[in-house]
Amino acid sequence: MIALFLLVLYSTSCGVHSEGQHVHIEPLTDNVLVLKVLSGVDNKVYVPLTCGAAYQTQSVFWKKDGMELDPPLQGNQVRVLVEQMDGGNYTCHLGPDGQYLNHTVILVQMDSDNRSLILEEMSPTEGHIHCSAPNYKGDFHCTWKRTQYRSHAAVLLVKAIRNFEQIPCQLDADGSGVHCQDVNCPFREEQLRIYLTVYIHSFSRLEVYTKVFYLREIVKPSKLSNLHLSDGNVFSWNYPDSWETPRTYFALQFQVKVINHGHPCNTEENVLHNITEDTTYKVDVQRKRYIFCVRAQDKYTNGPWSHWTHCT
């Protein structure tokens, strides 16, 4: 880092912009190259591209984002000049208007630039990615939200890693989340965190978001089921089906609330408010119409609360 800084100082103080010195080129996937550039510096770099060993003897022509280049770019191995954020999708073809052979996408990632233009911050504590799991078995789901002006941004790659091992993940169809399946032993104390990294791009701009967490921090019970009024004023409900067993070991605690008709469960204005470990609650209030709300939390970790379930 210090060396890089000195290099920047040196080149600016001499007034030279030797091409490429502020840029690192790193492959991200087979067909994607990332230029890591310093923001606020004139960036100009020649990037070598190869159509592929299979086409060594062919007459290869290149296009950028589907457009022919001027002057034409020809050859299996070429160099393209990338200035500032001007990456793109370089495709190689058989002859000037010929068949598509291969492609390389050049993206630009601003180092030393903490601005997040692509994803919205969920909250200061949560950051840009929200993750949740219904139990301790290892299944979890993470979501993010693109900002209004980058709604077209596309996810290139999601990596989830624990202890140097890749956790298999599947991107949601709308590209706004990912579902991962780790193998986890619910009975053992979790020692190492999960590192989730999302690579997302809007045109040539690549942004990388990371979330680091223990599964136990994101385990949120599903909504309670079968909430009903049994005996006059006694409400009862069940543990969520997705919750761990045995229930003595994986106990939940419940927050119950009685609120006035027409209010949402998360209102601060409650008639009654209590915590219980039972799955029944006897309501003692002198009114005919009210709403009974209940939600659950892991009793031992005090992790996230479930969504509310209510009964009128």
C-beta closer to ligand NAG: residue 32 or 194: 32
Chain centroid, CA 175 distance in Å: 10
CB of 210 to ligand NAG, least distance (A): 12
CB of 55 to ligand NAG, least distance (A): 6
CB of 188 to ligand NAG, least distance (A): 32
Binding site for ligand NAG (CB under 6 A): 30-31, 50, 52-54, 89, 91, 100, 102-105, 113-114, 274, 276
C-beta closer to ligand NAG: residue 50 or 116: 50
CB of 152 to ligand NAG, least distance (A): 11
C-beta closer to ligand NAG: residue 140 or 235: 235
SS (H, E, C) 228-290: EECCCCEEEEECCCCCCCCCCCCCEEEEEEEECCCCCCCCCCEEEEEEECCCEEECCCCCCCC
CA dist list (Å): 65 to 52, 104, 142, 221: 19, 10, 31, 46
Half-sphere exposure of 186 (CA within 13 A, CB side): 15
Which residue number is nearest to ligand NAG in terms of Cβ?
52
C-beta closer to ligand NAG: residue 140 or 292: 292
The beta strands (E) that lie in 2-133 are given as: 23-29, 32-38, 44-50, 60-64, 67-68, 77-83, 88-94, 100-111, 130-132
Element (H, E) at 160: strand 154-162
C-beta closer to ligand NAG: residue 110 or 167: 110
Q: Tell me the C-alpha distance between 119 and 113, whole Å.
A: 15
CB of 165 to ligand NAG, least distance (A): 25
CB of 306 to ligand NAG, least distance (A): 18
Cα-Cα end-to-end distance for the chain: 61
8 Cβ contact list (under 8 Å, min separation 6):
22, 38, 41
C-beta closer to ligand NAG: residue 35 or 218: 35
Q: Tell me the C-alpha distance between 201 and 150, whole Å.
A: 9
CB of 260 to ligand NAG, least distance (A): 17
C-beta closer to ligand NAG: residue 32 or 133: 32
